[in-house]
Amino acid sequence: MSGRFVVVGAGTMGLGIAYVAAGAGYAVELVEVDPARGAEALRRLGELWDRGVRRGKLTEEAATANRERVTLRAGLTEVAEGADVIVEAVPERLDLKRAVLREAESRRPALLGSNTSSIPIADLAAGLDRPAEFVGLHFFNPVWAMALLEVVVGPATAPQTTEAAVALAARLGKDPVVVRDMPGFATSRLGVTLGLEAIRMVADEVASPADIDKAMVLGYRHPIGPLELTDLVGLDVRLDIARTLQAAYGDRFAPPPLLVEMVAAGKLGKKSGQGFYTWKDGVKQ
Ligand SMILES: NC(=O)c1ccc[n+]([C@@H]2O[C@H](COP(=O)([O-])OP(=O)(O)OC[C@H]3O[C@@H](n4cnc5c(N)ncnc54)[C@H](O)[C@@H]3O)[C@@H](O)[C@H]2O)c1
């Protein structure tokens, strides 16, 4: 298997996407403007492959081959034209993403994708010359462990582009869902609904956070409860998504007062040490 796969942005998501693309045999170019973050991403990738070898999941040779398949680039100008795929995973800001996508498009990839988790594909496509070849490729964190790829089809996305995205998912070992470009796509819209209702239930003192989570884990076979998941995602992130969805769909997505208060008090979940649970060194207490 060969082919060229370009990832723009070597943060949490970019490095995860690079990991699975290298594992799928692509020559990966990881584009990162911040040299320190780029170096850190390469170090972390090496660490992940070493761990894979230690756990018997891949051979030394495969780990070395994967490592050698990833090249760091300081900018898209360093990327040759005609890659099979370019996916952007830069921060969730419309102007930044638009600028990156326009530049990426000028490198003439066969498939252009965005890993946005909330910006409409139509808005991102607005400045592109070939929006038909552009699609949402929404990966989940951590990319190597999460099976889902949400393929988000914009109004201008061509059917062949959607087919190419579905084929790409298969090559990367991901299981795709194809969704229409609507705020919150399929995952955030449904996931946030459950999270917000669980927070209202804490405020109503229906049960403790631990028991609300346990009810969904044991009663509905969810792998993790909605409040613990909110702690992992970040209460601030969920609040932002709720507000975006409220603007799109109305007050059924209005953030519960308890969520607003907790964010204002700096209780952001795992990353701040306190959310619906207390966290110490990244571990739930
Ligand atoms: N973190 C998650 O759980 C998650 C899950 C799904 C989707 N997403 C989406 O993925 C995207 C990236 O999120 P993240 O958490 O990896 O962000 P991050 O902040 O960890 O990483 C973004 C990286 O992009 C780099 N960058 C900024 N401008 C750049 C440019 N012009 N060229 C190249 N690199 C540039 C930054 O230096 C940084 O290293 C966002 O759109 C986010 O909404 C995130």
Instruction: Decide whether any atom of ligand 1 lies within 6 Å of the 141 Cβ.
Output: yes
Give the residue whose CA is nearest to atom 36 of ligand 1: 9
Helices (H), the chain: 12-23, 35-54, 60-68, 94-106, 121-125, 159-171, 187-203, 209-220, 226-233, 235-249, 257-264
Unique residue bearing structure tokens 């582009």: 161
- The answer on 241 and 216 residing in a single domain is yes
- The answer on 159 and 191 residing in a single domain is no
Q: What is the pLDDT of residue 285?
A: 95
202 contacts 209 by C-beta, under 8 angstroms: yes
Q: Domain ends where: 180, 213, 234?
A: 180
This model's pTM is above 0.85:
yes
Q: Domain ends where: 122, 150, 180?
A: 180
Instruction: Decide whether any atom of ligand 1 lies within 6 Å of the 90 Cβ.
Output: yes
- The answer on 202 and 162 residing in a single domain is no
For a mutational test of ligand 1's pocket, the pick from 6, 7, 13, i.e. the residue with the most ligand atoms closer than 8 A to its C-beta, is 13
- The answer on 13 and 153 residing in a single domain is yes
| The total number of structural domains that make up the chain | 2
For a mutational test of ligand 1's pocket, the pick from 78, 117, 118, i.e. the residue with the most ligand atoms closer than 8 A to its C-beta, is 117
Q: Do the domain assignments include residue 151?
A: yes
Instruction: Decide whether any atom of ligand 1 lies within 6 Å of the 151 Cβ.
Output: no
Q: What is the pLDDT of residue 216?
A: 98
- The answer on 248 and 199 residing in a single domain is yes
Residue 148: band (very low, low, confident or very high) from pLDDT cuts 50, 70, 90? very high
114 contacts 137 by C-beta, under 8 angstroms: yes
Residue-number span of the structural domain to which 116 is assigned: 4-180
- The answer on 194 and 161 residing in a single domain is no
For a mutational test of ligand 1's pocket, the pick from 7, 12, 45, i.e. the residue with the most ligand atoms closer than 8 A to its C-beta, is 12
Residue 2: band (very low, low, confident or very high) from pLDDT cuts 50, 70, 90? confident
Using one digit for the tens of pLDDT, what is the confidence trace for 62-98?
999 999 999 999 999 999 999 999 999 999 889 999 9
Give whole-number Cα distances, 144 to 82, 103, 186, in Å. 26, 27, 21
The CATH number linked to 250 is: 1.10.1040.10
179 contacts 27 by C-beta, under 8 angstroms: no
The CATH number linked to 75 is: 3.40.50.720
Q: Which atom of ligand 1 is nearest to the CA of 76?
A: 32
- The answer on 70 and 87 residing in a single domain is yes
Unique residue bearing structure tokens 């701040």: 272
Residues paired with residue 279 on neighbouring β-strands, in sequence order: 284
Residue 141: band (very low, low, confident or very high) from pLDDT cuts 50, 70, 90? confident
pLDDT higher than 90, residue 170: yes
Give the residue whose CA is nearest to atom 11 of ligand 1: 89
Q: Domain ends where: 128, 146, 180?
A: 180
Q: What is the pLDDT of residue 282?
A: 86
Cα–Cα distance between 178 and 159 in angstroms, integer? Answer: 11
β pairing state of 283-284 and 111-114:
unpaired
